[in-house]
Amino acid sequence: MDAPPLQEENVVDRAKVEHYQRTGCIPCFRMVERSAMENDFLHWHYQRFRTRVANGAVSMSLAPDDEGSSSNISVAACSPPWSELRFKAHLFLPWLFDLLVGSEVLKRYAETMLLTEDERELQHSSVVEHGEEQKAGKSKIKHSTPVVIWSTDFCVKPAESKAFFSWHQDSTYSRFRGDQGVTVWLAFSDVTERAGPVLFREGSHRLGQLPHDENVGQEGNMLAFGQTIERDKLEAIRTDERSFPTVAAILAPGEASAHNFFVVHSSQANQEHVDRVGLAIRLVRADAAILEDAQQEDLRCDAPRMRRDRVTLLTGRPEDVHGFELENHFWEEGERVWRAWRPTEEFGRKEMAEWKKSMDREKEMYFEGRGEGQQKYK
């Protein structure tokens, strides 16, 4: 099945962006063309992916290095379980890579949502200075800051199950500030009120990082550590519906929601007769690898000045990314140029080797000093 058509116009909905800047979230915007949904593109590919994993068809053999000898991670073939393969699948699924990296809508929304206040002011001044016209609530967005895909993960809530996500912030274990990261949640299935949609507390991003309690092993909680905002803090938010109104992300396939890493959110049990399926796309500014003093202390080790996460470049140039290691661009020292890379074979040898390197690095950052929660991960 061919990749879905890309959005033709390089535009974002200005009203939705302004809503994000005020509330820290966008409950719904269309990311994939409706014409692609008519062909059941997302459902078809997702079901094929799950079937291959369930049938044990995913055989991973890490490729040897360029010299032909075995590298440190070149080990015997193995079949990673779904609990691992649901993360960073865009590195070994060409259709998913193209869906994300080829999406002009995702790029433009990402660039706009991750602008700092100073950058927004500069952009506004530039628009006024050059007298650019704005059409019907939409505005063309000039590139401002490079954005990378820090991670992706399929969020599958089984039909008629008690599985839920407790009230939390994405910043807690990612260790990115709210203004550095945004989660875009792309629906692969219909997300109704009964399906346990993501619930946002609008405006809660203004509270900054909140303390969390851990409930490892809590029945039904799909978060790695059962992390939940401390009871007193959460109760204060829950009882202040006026300041922090609750909004549900009701989505059709191909639609997405977006939220700041500081936004307080959760989702409850899926009461529908079908699985609730979505892809969480974690986007961060390309300069987010630069650690501040407080962030370095939080890493509980003699941390380097830069984070070492492996990321996929979404917008901007490779040379504008600092600290992060790129998954889809490689520096050729001999020719002194950047070479772009994309997966070309599902579960291919090279693809799975890159995926494993990225997963090892991400778990190293996410589970530093921890021995629990690694099966469920985030």
Alpha helices in the chain (DSSP H): 14-23, 34-38, 41-54, 82-85, 94-101, 104-113, 117-130, 171-174, 231-238, 293-298, 349-366
Lateral strand order in the sheet of 246-248: 165-168, 265-267, 198-201, 246-248
Is a pLDDT exceeding 70 seen at residue 128? no
Q: How far apart are CA 122 and CA 267, in angstroms?
A: 37
Averaged over 335-346, what is the pLDDT?
91
pLDDT 10s digits, 220-264:
999 989 999 999 999 999 999 999 999 999 999 999 999 999 999
The type of residue at 354 is E
DSSP secondary structure of 221-232: B-STT--EE-HH
Residue partners of 48: CB distance under 8 A and separation at least 6: none
Which helix or strand (DSSP H or E) is residue 106 part of?
A: helix 104-113
Q: How far apart are CA 60 and CA 78, in angstroms?
A: 5
Q: What is the pLDDT of residue 129?
A: 52
Q: How far apart are CA 18 and CA 113, in angstroms?
A: 9
Is a pLDDT exceeding 70 seen at residue 188? yes
The type of residue at 42 is L
The type of residue at 48 is R
The 10 Å Cβ neighbour count of residue 278 is 27
Q: What is the pLDDT of residue 302?
A: 55
Q: How confident is the model at residue 370 (pLDDT cuts 50, 70, 90)?
A: low
- The region of weakest confidence among 134-143, 184-193, 277-286 is 134-143
In 3D space, the residue among 13, 6, 5, 310 whose CA is nearest the CA of residue 138 turns out to be 13
Domains and CATH numbers, the chain: 11-55+82-290 (2.60.120.620)
pLDDT 10s digits, 67-122:
444 444 434 456 788 999 999 999 999 999 999 999 999 999 999 999 987 777 77
Give the strand pairing for 337-340 and 329-332: antiparallel
What tokens appear for 325 in the block?
A: 């290691």
Beta-bridged to residue 199, according to DSSP, are 248, 266
Conformational region of residue 27, where left means phi above 0, alpha means psi within -120 to 50, and beta covers everything else: alpha
Q: What is the pLDDT of residue 35?
A: 74
* Crossing angle between the packed helical segments 104-113 and 14-23, to the nearest 10 degrees: 40
Q: What is the pTM of this model?
A: 0.85
Averaged over 295-299, what is the pLDDT?
54
- The region of weakest confidence among 8-22, 189-203, 295-309 is 295-309
Q: How far apart are CA 204 and CA 14, in angstroms?
A: 21
Give whole-number Cα distances, 375 to 85, 248, 378, in Å.
11, 28, 9
CB 176, CB 136: distance < 8 Å: no
Q: How confident is the model at residue 9 (pLDDT cuts 50, 70, 90)?
A: very low
Q: How confident is the model at residue 149 (pLDDT cuts 50, 70, 90)?
A: very high
Q: What is the pLDDT of residue 256?
A: 98
Q: How confident is the model at residue 1 (pLDDT cuts 50, 70, 90)?
A: low
Which carries the bigger pLDDT value, residue 162 or residue 1? 162
Q: What is the percentage of the chain residues whose pLDDT exceeds 70? A: 78
Is a pLDDT exceeding 80 seen at residue 59? no
CB 235, CB 167: distance < 8 Å: no
Q: How does the average pLDDT of the chain come out, rounded?
A: 84
Q: What are phi and psi of 238, to 5 degrees?
A: -60, -40
Is a pLDDT exceeding 50 seen at residue 212? yes
Q: How far apart are CA 250 and CA 198, in angstroms?
A: 8
Is a pLDDT exceeding 80 seen at residue 173? yes
Is a pLDDT exceeding 80 seen at residue 343? yes
Q: What is the pLDDT of residue 374?
A: 41
Beta-bridged to residue 265, according to DSSP, are 168, 200
Alpha helices in 301-345 (DSSP H): none
